[in-house]
Amino acid sequence: MDTSAPSDKPSDVLLVGKGLERTFVTGEVSVRALRGVDVTLQRGELVVLLGQSGSGKSTLLNILGGLDRATAGTLQFEGKDLTHANDAELTRYRRRSVGFVFQFYNLVAGLTARENVSLVTEIADHPMKPDEALEMVDLGERVKHFPAQLSGGEQQRVAVARAIAKRPQILFCDEPTGALDSKTGIRVLEALDRVNRELSTTMLIITHNVGIGEIADRVLRMQDGRIIEETRPNRRLKPAEISW
């Protein structure tokens, strides 16, 4: 099934995965987590990826984000082939072009909010100021707090700020609200939504929450290692408007 959005400008294509397969082999058992996935992400679009547990969402995200390699298939970023990239090349891809937000924040405990952000801006080419990034996620007041002094939602917003501060071309979020209640979850989504609108950052958000699909330009649904459905909401809602 073709999941690419109709578009007249081919240069709008940012990331293309074709025939992606991933098989995990542990001892005697092998698990086919991806069984041929074709996916194209356009510049500036916000895509939500839904699917049952074990359907292969994280596996796909990790491959697209350069954390893992596909067993078969090809991957192109801005027309450059990443299929055969080595470790150093993937590191450079992540460093230059990709941001991540994970379910468990993964902040560095030994650094304050601002320092966690500047950790990334220091190795980026055209970053924003750390404070600016924290403003975007509404944390301008808490820059000097350590992760342990912040709530889960706040920590996740720091993670978002850290991810966007280097102005990545693409942001991958794996269940960014998975550990949060609805109110805090919505604040995180608002931060992501704002970044997507204001910076035109391409986003792929994994979630179990069907309602979140309503903030997307496009929703993909996975099952058994394949993308089985693609929908486009009629109107993209604001995070505050969705039903959690």
Ligand X SMILES: Nc1ncnc2c1ncn2[C@@H]1O[C@H](COP(=O)(O)OP(=O)(O)OP(=O)(O)O)[C@@H](O)[C@H]1O
Q: Whose Cβ is closer to another protein: residue 62's or residue 201's?
A: 62
Residue 51 binds which entry of ligand X, Mg ion, another protein, none, CB below 5-8 Å type-dependent: ligand X
Q: Quick one: which segment of 57-65, 90-98, 119-127, 184-192 binds ligand X (CB under 6 A)?
A: 57-65
Q: Is 58 in the site for ligand X (CB under 6 A)?
A: yes
Instruction: Find out whether 101 and 174 touch, Cβ atoms under 8 Å.
Output: yes
Task: Please report how close the Cβ of residue 177 comes to another protein at its closest, in angstroms.
Answer: 15
Q: How many Å apart are CA 128 and CA 135, to the nearest integer?
A: 11
Positions touching another protein (CB under 8 A) are 58, 62, 67-68, 87-88, 91-92, 94-96, 98, 100, 102-104, 106, 108-111, 115, 118-120, 122-123, 146-149, 162, 174, 179
Q: Whose Cβ is closer to ligand X: residue 53's or residue 86's?
A: 53
Q: Whose Cβ is closer to Mg ion: residue 58's or residue 116's?
A: 58
Q: How many Å apart are CA 39 and CA 59, to the nearest integer?
A: 13
Residue 88 binds which entry of ligand X, Mg ion, another protein, none, CB below 5-8 Å type-dependent: another protein
Q: How many Å apart are CA 75 and CA 82, to the nearest integer?
A: 5
Q: Concatenated DSSP letters for 52-75?
A: -TTSSHHHHHHHHTTSS--SEEEE
Of 10, 18, 29, nearest to 74 by C-alpha is 18
Task: Out of 17, 56, 176, 185, name the contact with ligand X by CB under 6 A.
Answer: 56
Instruction: Find out whether 48 and 21 touch, Cβ atoms under 8 Å.
Output: no
Q: Is 59 in the site for Mg ion (CB under 5 A)?
A: no
User: Six-digit token pair at 234?
Assistant: 């009629």
Q: Whose Cβ is closer to ligand X: residue 11's or residue 53's?
A: 53
- Hey, which residues does 222 pair with through a beta bridge? 51, 227
Residue 94 binds which entry of ligand X, another protein, Mg ion, none, CB below 5-8 Å type-dependent: another protein
CA angle 92, 61, 14 (to 5 degrees): 60
Task: Please report how close the Cβ of residue 225 comes to ligand X at its closest, in angstroms.
Answer: 7
Strand 80-81 versus strand 98-101 pairing type: unpaired
Residue 8, phi then psi, degrees to nearest 5 = -90, -25
Give me the residues that bind Mg ion (CB under 5 A), please: 58
Give me the residues that bind ligand X (CB under 6 A), please: 24, 26, 31, 33, 51, 53-59
